[in-house]
Structure 1
Amino acid sequence: MTTSDVVSTGALLVMVVVALVLLIQYLKLQDIWQIIVDCKTATRWAKIWEMENKELRSALRAEKEHVDQLQRKLKLLQALIPTN
């Protein structure tokens, strides 16, 4: 082998190592990208559930107030009914 062949072979090996490192980095970045996408999806669902929970809590407060109002009316009506 001549010096030129050794240098060429060495350069080829270096290029193969660089290509492998790039491939490994690509695969890692692909995993990171998937994690980011999953987090965005989870965040979107969390916001949706938070809004639904707010609406449900508001509806529950309104129902409780309605029940309280009906109970007050019932007490008033019972007070009007004569007992024997």
Structure 2
Amino acid sequence: MSMSEAVATGAIGLMGIILLILVHQCFRLHELWRMALACQKNSRWARICKAENRELRSALRAEKAHIEQLQRKLVNLQALIPAEG
């Protein structure tokens, strides 16, 4: 084997190693991409849940205010009952 053949063989071997490293990096990058998409999806669901929680808390406050109003009316009506009897 001549010197040029040895250099060519070494270069081909080195290119093969570089190709394997690039393929490995490609797989890792694909995995990171999938993780980023999953994170984006989870973030979207978190925003949706946060908005729903805000709406539910607001509805709960409104219901509590309505209950307090009805309780005040009940107290007023109960106060009127003995006065009529």
Which category describes the TM-score, using the shorter chain as reference length? over 0.9
How high is the TM-score relative to the length of structure 1?
Answer: 0.96
C-alpha separation in 1, matches of 2:82 and 2:38: 67
Listed as ranges, the gaps of 5+ residues in structure 1 are: none
Alpha-carbon separation, structure 2, partners of 1:35 and 1:81: 67
The 1-side partners of 2:69 and 2:22 are apart by 70
What residue in structure 2 maps to residue 72 of structure 1? 72
Partner of 2:42: 42
Q: CA separation in 2, counterparts of 1:11 and 1:81? A: 103
| Counterpart AA for 1:32 | L
TM-score by length of 2: 0.94
**Quick one: distance in 2 between partners of 1:82 and 1:2?**
119
The ranges of structure 1 where at least 4 consecutive aligned residues each deviate by more than 4 angstroms after the TM superposition are none
Deviation at residue 5 of structure 1 after TM alignment: 1.1
Local SS of the residue matching 2:82: coil
| Partner residue in 2 for 1:7 | 7
Asked if 1:16 is matched to 2:16, the reply is: yes
1:82 partner SS: helix
Q: Alignment identity in percent?
A: 50
How much has 1:26 moved relative to structure 2? Answer: 0.6
1:3 positional shift: 1.1
RMSD between aligned alpha carbons?
A: 1.1
Tell me how many residue pairs correspond in the alignment. 84
Give the corresponding residue for 2:62. Answer: 62
Structure 2 portions without partners, runs of 5+: none
Task: Provide the C-alpha distance between the structure 1 equivalents of 2:44 and 2:34, rounded to a whole number of angstroms.
Answer: 15
